[in-house]
Structure 1
Amino acid sequence: MPKNTNTPGHSRLTKLNRLTKQHKIALAGVATLGAAALAFSAVPSDAGTTTTDAASSAKVAYSTEPIKGVRASVTDQLAGASLKTEAIQAKAEAKVKAAKAKADAAAKAKADAAAKKKAAAEAAAKKKAEAARKAKKAASRSSQRVKLQPVAATTYANNLNGWINHALAIMKQKGIPGSYNGLYKNIMRESSGNPSAVNGWDVNAVNGTPSIGLLQVIQPTFNAYHVSGTSTNIYDPVANITAAANYAAARYGSIDNVNSAY
């Protein structure tokens, strides 16, 4: 008589017996892990760690799920490092710009100072030149005034004293030597101070050339030693004196050296 294969108890047992060896190992592992978990949770925090053979022989399962938040943290760190680098670079650039601005300002100040100094020197030179020009112009005007200013004519008395002084002034201009006393003594001896005196008896008169005037000069001598700027009239007192003094200077060195007829 065949066995009843539909018996409930027998069917479960048959299925259980059919579990593979791998299934049994997996179940055992799960049980072992459960026991290990209970053992760890039961150990106080200050107690030593106890490891059972079951726990040591159990397999550890690793999760294949991606770790969230790691990538974001690295990105944040890189961004922070980049910002820090940019800040350092910006600070360095700002320092370089500040140094350049300071150098430019110093160079500009130096150039401005040099320009001001040059302008001041040019202004001083221009002022000096202008002052020199004005001084030269003023001196020129003064010189012109002196040249253009009419010399006041000296007036001499129409007498023996005036004639002698006037003759001496002309003699000084012409470089003819003689003194007042030298002229006076010879005039008084020759004509007694009379400009119209004529000697009609001496040898000169005999020869047709009488001595005439204050210093008794003959016409040929008067003509030869006439002083320019004076009258050509032999009777003119000043012309007569200067011509006679000029002749005496040529022959005797000076009228002062004449003490007799000459």
Structure 2
Amino acid sequence: MSVLNSPALRRLRSRKAAVAGVAVASAAAVGLTLVPTDADAGTTAEVAAAAPVSWKVDPAQAAKVQESIATQQSSFEAQVKAQLEKKKAEAEAAKKKAEAEKKAKAAAEKRAEEKAAADRKARAAKPAKVTYPNNLDGWIREALSIMKKHDIPGSYEGIHRNIMRESSGNPLAINNWDINARNGVPSKGLLQVIKPTFDAYHVAGTKHDQYDPVANIVAACNYAADRYGSMDNVDSAY
């Protein structure tokens, strides 16, 4: 391949042509009006053949070109400034958004922690529900807790002693042979209470059932407290 036709040389020529074109366009834009100073010049041929001619720049055109360049420069600077201010504003907005999200997250975490602390405090303040085994020991202890709330006297020993005498600890015990039975109101339950007595001394919050062990104990102790001062004072049929 000839050096004169190499790609590198062709690119160089193209670049020079482009530069030349820009130069020509710039010269046209600048509007430098070149006018011959010889007012007596004749034909174009005569001017071309004449001695070197003096040329001058039209001041008005030059001023216009300078003004145009200044205007373009000012517009370009304004655009650059506007873009910079836009980017700055976007960065500030992003920063504020991030800060707001951070604050919101911190506030949410704080509220969650406060709620958890309040829940823990409420659980600590609220006594745990006591459960009792479904046997004689559990029935007596549950009855004593209810009796304490209603200021009904009586002890575990006194209640247990009377239960063993009356029913041997059977909550379904029933007496079908004594005077109460003959009168149609047999004694029932752990402490062998007849229905009229159970109804009269039943304590609210317990089941209204003579055979319910806890209700039976509480009603009987309430009756014994009224008549004997306490179930602890009872040692025989009452």
TM-score with structure 2 setting the length: 0.48
TM-score with structure 1 setting the length: 0.44
Which of the pair has more CA radius of gyration?
A: 1
